[in-house]
Amino acid sequence: MVATRLMMLLICFLAAATSGLVEAGSPTFFFTWNVTYGTISPLGIPQQGILINGQFPGPNINSTTNDNLVINVFNKLDEPFLLTWPGIQHKKNSWQDGVLGTNCPIPPGKNYTYYLQVKDQIGSYIYHPSTGFHRAAGGFGGLCIHSRSVVPVPYNRFVEDDFTLLIGDWYTRSHVELGKQLDSGKLLGKPDGVLINGKSGRLDYDSDGKGDNEPLFTMKAGKVYKYRICNVGVKTSLNFRIQGHTMKLVEMEGSHVVQNEYESLDVHVGQCFTVLVTANQDPKDYYLIASTRFTRTVITTTAIVRYSDSKGLASPDLPKAPVGWDWSLNQFRSFRWNLTASAARPNPQGSFHYGGIPINRTIRLANTAHLVNGKVRFAVNGVSYVNSETPLKFAEYYGIPEEVFKYNVISDKPADEIENVTLQPNVMDATYKAFMEIVLENRQNTMQSWILDGYAFFAVGMEPGTWNPDKRKSYNLIDAVSRYTIQVFPNCWAAILVSMDNAGMWNLRSNIWERNYLGQQLYLSVRLHKRSLRDEYNMPDNALLCGIVANMSKPTPYSLQ
């Protein structure tokens, strides 16, 4: 074990010295991932899944602030493929983001090595495929980032064990069928089930009543456990709860939060929470429960957590999920940043006084649905996004953006009534280091879940109705949580504040994958007036090329000007 670690350190220095891709001084961990199809039966019906090294869900990555992760992904599917790492900020390095606006997809039979450095964020994350509808077939897994031992955390970090719980809706149709259905203009409809770590639990034990259902996790009475709960699904918000136990929320999306106790948590698509659970109940089995929210019929799935000296089966009486979305809105408002806790750095989170920074620009983005040639499309301010063959970032880097896309085809203010929609790439120019207010206006009566790559933002406000500048009076300018996803309830708005200090091409997208697939996304291009390595890394040497840049000579690299 020690020898392996030393080997890794050695390889790290060599790699750092030769490629300049990883930061010397911090440990580097190497992964080789084979992405293949395989038959899985999470709902009892065999179907084609996407496996990583034979696993569904994929392997969990365990890391610590500043670690370099070198992940060589071999695409053994019959379709182009990419993985993305939501919430990993890729400082100066949108090249590693793994979305089609910043990377060419890995062709079948080829591989691509991601060089990630996990930095300013601690907590629980996921990775998942960004191409096509692959995410509905697997290829996802957990990724956790621990604080360095020199940085204090606002709770006892020596928990008895650390559990990753990937919950998500599930369809029995293959990703190909789901994609075809969307291409034909029909939405997916309700999911067929809900999974916890790739399995769908039953409410009863086996027929002999002995309770020989394998527990997912085991806890020792009196000990404290960390649970990392992420919604890896494609469409549905889920409520998560643990029978007989409360959950103390300690982290979310890279921030330490005020530690409230929750009986249940609404986890919207793409969101992650870290909670502490104390095994302080009678020693027996308990159900872990995930159930759909805001759906006509509630789909519930369970898994078992067993006390190590369990003396009985779990009770079939499951705690009820909350009803309605105003409960969920109130829960959102209860999430507060712990201003005195340290994040990745020793200085407290609250030392960044975001509430006092003047806003340079306000962008209002309205999501709408349209019928285009009889097929459903989703749009942001009237533009329904389509991918270009050449990644947007490449077109920009090679100095030929106009051959691939136009900047600012949408304006900062959506029309009151959006009648028409155009299908094209959607890139907004964002000034480097500007402080922006982005208002997400949900003009539909369905749930939204948004994610911004490359950044953490402050989720300052969320209310029913229409946003206007007066609403700023209701913003939380003191202790809103710094995070990278935000849900927007039906016919509500949500406001975020973000400092555009990470140069690159960054995807702002719906995490609800049918919306994303049918156009509800855009990119923010945070460009430098003067290219400098200080602010942005060069295109990596191993970048896969495609589209019009495939045969062009590489432009002059950035230097330390």
Nearest distance from residue 391's CB to ligand NAG, in Å?
A: 14
Which of 258-290 are b and which e, b meaning 16 or more Cβ less than 10 Å from the residue's Cβ? bbeebebbbbbbbbbbbbbbbbeeebbbbbbbb
User: Could you tell me the smallest distance in angstroms from the CB atom of residue 240 to ligand NAG?
Assistant: 21
CB 213 within 8 A of CB 304: yes
Q: Which is nearer to ligand NAG, 33 or 517 (CB)?
A: 33
Enter the DSSP assignment of 412.
S
The binding site for ligand NAG (CB under 6 A) comprises 32, 34, 53, 62, 64, 72, 111-113, 146, 152, 154, 162, 258-259, 338, 340-341, 358, 360, 419-420, 431, 433-435, 542, 544, 550-551
Specify the residue, 179 or 504, whose C-beta has the smaller distance to ligand NAG: 504
The smaller minimum CB distance to ligand NAG, of residues 45 and 550, is found at: 550
When the beta carbons of 162 and 463 are compared against ligand NAG, the nearer one is: 162
Preceding amide of 57 cis, omega within 30: yes
| Residue 358 CB, nearest approach to ligand NAG (Å) | 4
Q: What is the CA radius of gyration of the chain?
A: 23
Q: How far is the CB of 32 from ligand NAG (least distance, A)?
A: 5
Q: Residue 361 gets which letter from DSSP?
A: E
Judged by beta carbon, residue 258 or residue 372, the one nearer ligand NAG is 258
Using DSSP's 3-state secondary structure scheme, residue 509 falls into strand
Report which of 540, 538, 541 is spatially closest to residue 556, judged by C-alpha positions.
Answer: 538
Min dist. Cβ of residue 71 to ligand NAG (A): 10
Report the nearest approach of ligand NAG to the CB of residue 80 (Å).
14
Closer of 62 and 446 to ligand NAG (Cβ): 62
Q: Which amino acid is at 351?
A: S
DSSP-derived secondary structure for 189-217 = -S-SEEEETTB---SS--TT-S--SPPSE
Q: Which is nearer to ligand NAG, 321 or 341 (CB)?
A: 341
Closest contact distance (angstroms) between CB of 365 and ligand NAG is: 18
> Among residues 127 and 513, whose Cβ is nearest to ligand NAG?
127
Minimum gap (Å) between residue 215 Cβ and ligand NAG: 17
DSSP notation for 432-500: TT-EEEEEEEE-SSS-EEEEETT--EEEEEEEES---GGGGGG---SSPPEESEEEE-TTEEEEEEEE-
Give how far the C-alpha of residue 238 lies from the chain's centroid of Cα atoms, to the nearest Å: 15
